[in-house]
Amino acid sequence: MPRAMWLLPIVATMPTKQVGKEQGVALIEFALVLPLLLLLTVGIVFYGYALVLKIAVVQAAKNGAQEAAAVSPLIENYNTSLFDRARQAAEDSLAWLPSAAFDARSITAGAAAGSDECDEEASFGVRVAIAFSDGENSVLPRLVLGPFSVPPSPVTVASYSCVSI
């Protein structure tokens, strides 16, 4: 029998005293990693919500312009009906938003001539915007740390849709 083989049964049955120390190290590692994981999760939720709001604003502007294009020029009060139906279609598209975001919306519909967002052929435009923060009211939650806000957010999300009528 080789020289060290007789030690094998003794070493295999010896209790290890490292178990308690390893559990403490795992707890410290978890305490160090947990804030980073929470920060990552909050960032994903925050920016995901901001992207959902951006998509909603773009879709509302498209729906308003589409509704304006569907108005017949033969009806009475064509101009008034055009503006009202475009605004109503955009508002209906945003009706699912929480009250803070819905109250922060701004919808304008009107002639697109001379507008920077439309080309020369467009005659009507719908602009939809949501102001993320107007003083005390904020659509998205944020943490203010002195001069910094976490996470930094845009001031407004806006979209403009144009249509030739």
Whole-number pLDDT of residue 32: 93
**141-153: buried (b, 16+ CB within 10 Å) or exposed (e) per residue?**
eeeeeeeeeeeeb
**76-107: buried (b, 16+ CB within 10 Å) or exposed (e) per residue?**
eeeeeebbebbbebbbebbeebeeebeebbeb
The helix (H) or strand (E) run that includes residue 54 is helix 19-70
- Listed residue (61, 127, 54) closest to 90, CA to CA: 61
Percent of the chain residues topping a pLDDT of 90: 6
Mean pLDDT of 143-164: 74
- Listed residue (157, 10, 18) closest to 94, CA to CA: 157
Whole-number pLDDT of residue 33: 95
Q: pLDDT (tens digit, 9 = 90+) per residue, 4-51?
A: 565 555 555 655 555 556 667 888 899 999 989 988 888 888 888 888
Beta strands, E only, 45-155: 105-111, 124-131, 133-134, 137-138, 143-145, 148-150
> Does the structure show a pLDDT above 60 at 141?
yes
DSSP helix/strand/coil, 106: strand
Side-chain-facing half-sphere of 154: CA atoms under 13 Å: 12
The helix (H) or strand (E) run that includes residue 52 is helix 19-70
